[in-house]
Structure formats: C-alpha cells, structure tokens
Structure 1
C-alpha cells in the first residue's frame, strides 16, 4: 500500500477540503442504504490525510491541533460518519508519539505514511462505567502476550489495518496492544445499529486468545502520570465533528429554503428566503454555529500552546478550553439539525430526502460523553482553580 505524503498544514487543509467536496454528494445515499464507505476511506488513506500528525523527523507534516480540528470539521460538514471513523486513529497515533519506544515509533510511523489505518477497541458493555476495562493482557513465558475480551462501539475496526486494544495487565495497569487485522483469535462483527452515524460500523470486537508480540504493546497508564493532552486532543476532534455537523445542517437548510420552500402566506413576500421571521431564525442558528467554530479554534490554539510548553497549568487550560468547545458544539449540532425542519417546513420531513440524517448523526455523536460533566469541570476550574482530572475524557 502506498500513499501521498502531505508536506505541511496548508496542504493538509487543502486535501481535507477537496475530500469533503468529493464525499458530500454521496453522503445521504450512503447513510440511507447503510453502504459502508470502504472506497472513501481508501481515498482518505491514499491522500495522506491520515498521516498528517506523524512527526517531522519521521517524514510527516506534524500538523498542529488547529489544523487537525479543521480537517475533522470540514469532513463532518460533508459526512459525519466518515469524519468519525478516523477520530480514534489520531488518538492512538498520539499514544505512539508519547509512549512508543524509538523502534515502535519508527515502525508505526512508516505504516501511517504508507496509508495504514488504526481502528479502536476500547469501550466495553456491561461494566460498571466507561473506565472499567476488563479485557486482559496476559504475559507468556517468551515475553509476548495474549489478549482476551469483548469490545463494543469499535468505530473504524472493520476498516482498520491495525486495531489498538485497551486492556489491563495483571497489576491492573492500562496498556494499548496494537493488533493487526486478521490476527488469530480476532473477530470484528458488523453489528452496529445506531440511529445515527450509520456507516461507521461501530460494532463488536471479540478477542479470543489473540497473540500479541511484546513490541506491539505500549504502557498507556504512563500517559496519565503527568501533564497530558491525550484527552484534550481526542475531545477536540469530537468537538470538531459536532461543529461540522452543525455547519453542514445549516448549509443544507439554507439551500432547501432558497430552492424548495414556500413562503408563509402571512409574510407578504414572494419567496421563503425573504420571510423576515425565517431570516431571523437563520441569524440565530448562524450565531450558534459560529460560536461553536470560534470556541473550537480557541480550544485548538490552547492545545497547541500546551503542546509547546506542557505543564500542569497549560494542560489544564487546554482541557477546559476543549470542554467549553465540546459543550457548545454539541448544543449547536443538536439545535441546528433539529431547526432544519422548523425553517424548511413540512416537505423537509419526507423520509426520501433523508434530511434527518443530520439530526440522527448529531443526536448519536453527542452521546459520546456527557456535556454536564464538562460544565462541572469548567465551573470548578473557574471558581476554585481546580484542575481537571487526568482520565483521558477531558
């Protein structure tokens, strides 16, 4: 497999914009038929977009957080499922940057530059909470390991060349095992039936005695023993997806009103686009979306600043900024995708138009982690100076 190597931030943004324009026309049909986007993901791999965070000394563009967030926002304006699939990919590239040995970094960065994709196998069902990871990584006499467990919500695993698996060793410490697709004992089940993000194939991964060489295991628990941006970066990309959903829904609502809606008879105007009450509502929805975009940019700037000077204080500021962006982005995505019908009228509710995919995507993706806890951490930081916890979800 080979892929183009992107040179810098400017090229990365240009490639993302081009891919978004390419993916947009087929997004509704893919969602309606639940046609999995293998060809589109191959295009994304070949474009080099999935390797843009590879460090410069390994041949990558090493783009900043602001560029990466904008890449995800652009993709999500076109297709929220396609934007969601590589979110964990970049989170686990970040684990290699932070915890990989020189040999591991050399191997995996070369894989990324060649267009290889990471999936994820992290969440589990039926446990006490999201941090209760019961998948086990058992050592063998030769120094290798065996993986046993069941994972759910494994976005991207079905399309991945490598599946990073969160697991605990006997001492309960958290590790990431990078498992190649097709490994013995590994089964990826396409059983995702979410109402939104229908083509992410976020199904089940079963691990039945999967052998893992020692050099494919990274000590993820060390990530959280000092100031870190693992959670902030991962959440920034979620915020970018929600912001993109809002912008995509707003653009489609405006196009529908301009081309298909009739004015309300009491308005006294010739077209729906001239209706003063609709104009007012579009102004409100634009403000909501622009606020999300502004907070996303500010959060990305904070992550970049913290990356350049990583301390407890800068990491905390970045996490709080990302939390604020995520809360506003979630609100914007749900409000705008719902208001699409309010401003477009009865005709927009036709199932055949599939305009509800925006709301379904927003409603599904914003359930990823609760905004109410992000607001709590923002309040604690602002009022009492309490730094957010280091748990990877903030």
Structure 2
C-alpha cells in the first residue's frame, strides 16, 4: 500500500467562516486521506471531530445566532471545496445544511432558537426519512410512528439511507404522528433506543454513514417535534430544492477533483509514452493536453451553474426574510436546481471516465483508486432520476407547467 503523507492536524481558535485562512488547512487535511479512506473503508470520524470544533456547520447562521451569516453562494462555494477534498464528507453534511435552512434560519418553526443553538455549538444534524416499504420515496404517512407518551412521545420504526447519521450528533426523523399527520422529530443520535447500523454497501459514496437506523420506543420530548405546514418544516413548497442542489454541488466538487487528479497524473508521468505518440514528453502531448483542457472547462462550467442556482435560492431566502411573496422565486430556484443537475451530472460522469485517457492502464491500479470519482458521481446522480427532471423542465418550457412542489424538486 502506498504511504499517505498527511498534513498536520489543523487546530482552530474559533469558528471558521467561508473566508477563514484555516479553511484551506482543513480542506488539505481532508483531501490527503480521502482516497485511502475510500479504498480501505476507513470512517472519517476524526474529520467530523474537526468539523465540529471548527463549527463549519454554522456557516449560514446569522450573527445574532452565533454564526458568520454566509450567503447561499458562499455556502455552496464551501460545499464544492469540501466535495473536491472528499465527496463523502460533503454529502454527509448535506442534510445538516438543509436542516439549517429549514429549521435554524426560518422564523416560522416552533423551536427555531433551539435548533439555531445546537448548530452554533458545532453539532451536526443528519436525516432519517426513507422507508423501503413506502409506495413512493417520501410518501406519507410513514410506517415510523410517534405516539403520545405523557407530555411527550415515543418513536418506533426503521429508516434506510440515513445519510450522515453515523457521524451526527442529532438526527431528524420523519414520522407519522398520533393523528397520522407528518412530523419531524429531532433527537440525539446517542439516545436510548436509537441504533445506527453501518450497512450501506453502494458502489460509491461508501463513507457517508448512509446505513439503516432503528428507533425502538425512543423517548421524544415535546420541544423536539416540528410539524409540517405551508410555512414551516418540510411542508414549505419547493423547500427540498436546496437539498437537491447540495447533492449536485457535491457532484461538481468531484469534477473539480477529477481536474486536479488529471493534471497531477499527466504532469507526473515519467514512464514510457504510447509508441505512436507525437511527443517524447507525455505532458507535451497535445491530445492529452486537450483532454485535460476539456475537463478543466467542464469543471468551471459545473461550478458556475451551481453558483447561479445558489443565487436563485438566495433570492428566495431574502424575500422570506423580508416577509414578501416568494412562490414565483421558489419555483424559479427549483427550475435552476433541476437544470443544474442535468448539466453537472452529465459532465462529471463523462469526465470521470476521461481521466483514464491521460494515463492509460496504469491509472487503473487499485492503489490510485481513481475509479472512485466515477463511482461517487454515478451514485450521487442516482439520488433522483434525471429523466424525471428533464421531462418536467420540457413540460415547463413548452406549456408553463409548474414543477412539483415537493419530493425530488
């Protein structure tokens, strides 16, 4: 096995912001071990300890709540950089950042101050929603139930694809309430009756803590439950669009990493060139340079698309903060996120294969683990169907048919 040279473990004197110089040290530390962690299935527990101490999950909190008040564009810049370092880390935090938007920033949820407080302290929040028995992903009522127990509740059920839960301090659990209303319980992952199982066996994104979670008669306090409505929680129209864009931003980060690895791979090649090559030095070969150039252009385009969609979501956030109508803005943001997915997924999956063209068969060695880029991008792209997004966008362009307000949009 190749020896991995790891940068010194970074330390932080206070919470990081998107402008903090120490952020580069954290990203370098994460990136140094990413390929080995993926190859050997080493869970990044030390990385998440650093993220807690850096309070990186609090980027979007406003100053009054103990955060730096980053815009959505600035958040997505950080997410892309995290994904370029290790997409497992970025995707594990996806539900945390969506939680902040939905519960810590919104002024309409019941216990907003509580959720802002735990994020400000550095806590990481994951999500347990999907049930294999549902007729549709996200369908309700859920088989997971919250039943009355004195002044609180008891939670029982099983969730799958609980992304990030293995590393998180809290988990959001989507469940059917006593009257079959859809509720979200937000509880510590270490509470009695919560069992997290490391059984995710996907081709890619192997270290996202996306396994099964069992809830066996778990005590839930009244102030740990949030209902859905048209103005709060998961009931807000198009509120899932940010979460979808976070997945696509992680794919864009993978493409940035493909570019970095392609450049390093070609620049470092000292071995024999193809016998029909036009140059003696591999890095001078114009055909190989073209491949790297196209990957570089695609990475630039992918990031630009993500940040444009982030700006559309920022407009929604600002309108809601001012108490202004936001339905048209929210739909426009959902359209932008859907278009971003179609573009970024295609570019990344294609270029994750082209990286092998700059080095030939030697690039396929398991020690290099370059196939992780394709595996990770393909796995993330499968989170929601591109065909569904493309059809909806076509219907909207042709007939003005609005995109769905919930689910994968």
What residue in structure 2 maps to residue 108 of structure 1? 115
1:136 matched to 2:151? The reply is no
- 8 Å contact 2:16–2:23 — kept in the other structure? no
What residue in structure 1 maps to residue 274 of structure 2? 264
What residue in structure 2 maps to residue 384 of structure 1? 399
- 8 Å contact 1:89–1:117 — kept in the other structure? yes
- 8 Å contact 2:52–2:122 — kept in the other structure? yes
1:44 matched to 2:51? The reply is yes
Residues in 2 aligned to 1:171 and 1:132: alpha-carbon distance in whole angstroms: 16
Give the C-alpha shift of residue 321 in structure 1.
Answer: 0.8
What residue in structure 2 maps to residue 78 of structure 1? 85
- 8 Å contact 1:119–1:163 — kept in the other structure? yes
Identify the match of residue 386 of structure 2 among 371, 374, 386: 371
- 8 Å contact 1:224–1:390 — kept in the other structure? no
Residues in 1 aligned to 2:371 and 2:408: alpha-carbon distance in whole angstroms: 29
Residues in 2 aligned to 1:10 and 1:352: alpha-carbon distance in whole angstroms: 34
Superposition TM-score, scaled by structure 2 size: 0.89
- 8 Å contact 2:158–2:212 — kept in the other structure? yes
Residues in 1 aligned to 2:130 and 2:149: alpha-carbon distance in whole angstroms: 29
The alignment partner of 1:265 has SS state of coil
- 8 Å contact 1:100–1:218 — kept in the other structure? no
- Number of aligned positions between the proteins: 391
Identify the match of residue 284 of structure 1 among 294, 297, 304: 294
Identify the match of residue 170 of structure 2 among 154, 162, 177: 162
The alignment partner of 1:267 has SS state of coil
The alignment partner of 2:201 has SS state of coil
Map 1:54-133 → 2, pairs under 5 A: 54-97=61-104, 104-133=111-140
Q: What are the superposed Cα offsets for residues 50-107 of structure 1, whole Å, 9 maximum, x if unpaired? A: 1112233212222111111111100111111111111001112222136677772222
Q: What are the superposed Cα offsets for residues 200-232 of structure 1, whole Å, 9 maximum, x if unpaired? A: 121110011111111100113444898645212
Distance 1:178 1:238, change over 3 A: same
Superposition TM-score, scaled by structure 1 size: 0.92
Distance 1:234 1:117, change over 3 A: same
What residue in structure 2 maps to residue 303 of structure 1? 313
1:357 matched to 2:372? The reply is yes
Give the C-alpha shift of residue 180 in structure 1.
Answer: 1.0
Residues in 1 aligned to 2:96 and 2:83: alpha-carbon distance in whole angstroms: 16
Runs of at least 5 residues in structure 2 that lack an aligned partner in the other structure: 1-11, 321-325
Residues in 1 aligned to 2:343 and 2:332: alpha-carbon distance in whole angstroms: 17
The alignment partner of 1:237 has SS state of helix
What residue in structure 1 maps to residue 188 of structure 2? 180
Identify the match of residue 341 of structure 1 among 344, 347, 356: 356
What residue in structure 1 maps to residue 4 of structure 2? none
Residues in 2 aligned to 1:337 and 1:38: alpha-carbon distance in whole angstroms: 27
Give the C-alpha shift of residue 253 in structure 1.
Answer: 1.5
- 8 Å contact 2:130–2:137 — kept in the other structure? yes
Map 1:309-348 → 2, pairs under 5 A: 309-310=319-320, 311-348=326-363
| 165-174 vs 154-163, greater mean Cα deviation | 165-174
Give the C-alpha shift of residue 184 in structure 1.
Answer: 2.2
Residues in 1 aligned to 2:115 and 2:51: alpha-carbon distance in whole angstroms: 18
Give the C-alpha shift of residue 375 in structure 1.
Answer: 1.5
Residues in 1 aligned to 2:286 and 2:294: alpha-carbon distance in whole angstroms: 12
- 8 Å contact 1:99–1:220 — kept in the other structure? no
Q: What are the superposed Cα offsets for residues 247-280 of structure 1, whole Å, 9 maximum, x if unpaired? A: 1012102211111264332232022222122222
- 8 Å contact 1:16–1:74 — kept in the other structure? no
Distance 1:53 1:282, change over 3 A: same
Report the structure, 1 or 2, having the larger helix content. Answer: 1
RMSD after superposition? 2.3
- 8 Å contact 2:95–2:126 — kept in the other structure? yes
Residues in 2 aligned to 1:225 and 1:45: alpha-carbon distance in whole angstroms: 26
- 8 Å contact 1:44–1:50 — kept in the other structure? yes
- 8 Å contact 2:62–2:69 — kept in the other structure? yes
What residue in structure 1 maps to residue 160 of structure 2? 152
Distance 1:140 1:100, change over 3 A: farther
Identify the match of residue 206 of structure 2 among 198, 207, 210: 198
The alignment partner of 2:173 has SS state of strand
